[in-house]
Amino acid sequence: MMNKKAYKRIIPGFGLSFGITLLYLGFIVIIPLCSLVIFTAGISPGVFLETVTRPRVLSSYMVSFSTALAAAVVDAVMGVIIAWVLVRYQFPGKKLMNGIIELPFALPTAVAGISLTHLTTDKGWIGKMFHDAFGIDIAYTRLGITVALVFIGIPFVVRSVEPVLEKMDRGVEEAADMLGAGRTKIFFDIILPEIAPALFSGFSLSFARGLGEYGSVVFIAGNKPYETEIAPLMILSQLQEYDYTSATAIALVMLIAAFIILLINSYIQSRSAKITGGMA
């Protein structure tokens, strides 16, 4: 049967490339992840459930979840605006703007965390402004965590939406415009549906990344239990108490969450590919 399949493939090299891909993924991703699963499998389901539903652990999920969600929403909105500006408009400084989008990938998360913290405390450049003008503190609150996560996630959205906007046929827009459709109507009825799958892909990546982010958040979070303690820190503090079982249990929950987000995303992507594929 294998032969029959291979016969159908005209381009040679399937065995080699498939083998290398699988081997590499196996060593780097699958085996280590399996060891996590094996480790947690040693725990009885009761203990596992008890561990991952402790009030403090639950609240750390909530902190991570709510801040990552808020940050992903901000990223989605700002990402679409920035991508739009970059694709549709010509203006001085455009190249610079385009160039710095990936900065959050390139800047070490610890450096980002430290400098964002310094900027947003009530003594920092930005924090002082907000503190004096609105009485809002940024650093050491959930708002601060959200700021750090917005920083981390912005390139995901911009870079997912940009290519779709570039490829979009402007004829439809122009036609709608000539027919007298308002700008908001054009955006929501024509542009948004078109970029929605890409936007969701960027949104879910930045959301998932935000859930797990540690380096930049730990400096700005304040780490108060039930208020600003994030789930990755929870894992780390369990590790420091030599409580491997709890650490791996919580890690497994987060891993599953990340995987679910990816699955939803890939489902949406494949569905939209089918729709657009059908249209083409």
Q: How many residues are present in the chain? A: 280
Does 87 contact another protein by CB under 8 A? no
Size of residue set near another protein by CB under 8 A: 117
Q: Which C-beta is closer to another protein: that of 31 or that of 192?
A: 31
Q: Which of residues 134-193 bind another protein (CB under 8 A)?
A: 139-140, 147, 150-151, 154, 163, 170, 174, 177, 183
Among 1, 45, 95, 134, contact with another protein (rule: CB under 8 A): 95
- Binding segment for another protein (CB under 8 A), chosen from 41-49, 189-197, 247-255, is 247-255
**Can you give the three-state secondary structure of the chain, one letter per residue?**
CHHHHHHHCCCCCHHHHHHHHHHHHHHHHHHHHHHHHHHHHCCCHHHHHHHHCCHHHHHHHHHHHHHHHHHHHHHHHHHHHHHHHHHHCCCCCHHHHHHHCCHHHHCCHHHHHHHHHHHHCCCCHHHHHHHHHHCCCCCCCHHHHHHHHHHHHHHHHHHHHHHHHHHCCHHHHHHHHHCCCCHHHHHHHHHHHHHHHHHHHHHHHHHHHHHHCCCCHHHHHCCCCCCCCCHHHHHHHHHHCCCHHHHHHHHHHHHHHHHHHHHHHHHHHHHHHHHHHHHC
Residue number, 193 or 225, with CB nearest to another protein: 225
Rule CB under 8 A: say whether 4 interacts with another protein: no
249 lies in the site for another protein, by CB under 8 A: no
Span of 41-49, 189-197, 205-213 interacting with another protein by CB under 8 A: 205-213
Comparing CB distances to another protein, the nearer of 190 and 254 is: 254
The residues in 9-68 that bind another protein, with binding defined as CB under 8 A, are 9-14, 16-18, 20-22, 24-25, 28-33, 35-36, 39, 54-56
In whole angstroms, give the CA distance from residue 87 to residue 97: 12
223 interacts with another protein by CB under 8 A: yes
Closer residue to another protein (CB): 196 or 214: 214
99 or 135: whose CB is closer to another protein? 99
Nearer to another protein, 78 or 196 (CB): 78
Would you state the structure tokens that stand for residue 175, as one six-digit string? 């036609």
Q: Which of 71, 82, 195, 249 binds another protein (CB under 8 A)?
A: 82
Between CA 158 and CA 195 the distance in angstroms is: 11
The residue within the footprint of another protein, chosen from 63, 161, 248, 249 (CB under 8 A), is 248
CA distances from 9 to 5, 16, 277 (A): 7, 13, 23
Q: Are 98 and 180 in contact (CB under 8 A)?
A: no
Is 211 one of the binding residues for another protein (CB under 8 A)?
A: yes
Stretch that binds another protein, among 41-49, 188-196, 202-210 (CB under 8 A): 202-210
User: Is residue 91 a contact point for another protein (CB under 8 A)?
Assistant: yes
Q: Is 242 in the site for another protein (CB under 8 A)?
A: yes
Which residue of 52, 138, 195, 218 would you call a contact of another protein, by CB under 8 A? 218
| Distance (Å, whole) CA 266 – CA 202 | 12
Residue 106 lies near another protein (rule: CB under 8 A): yes
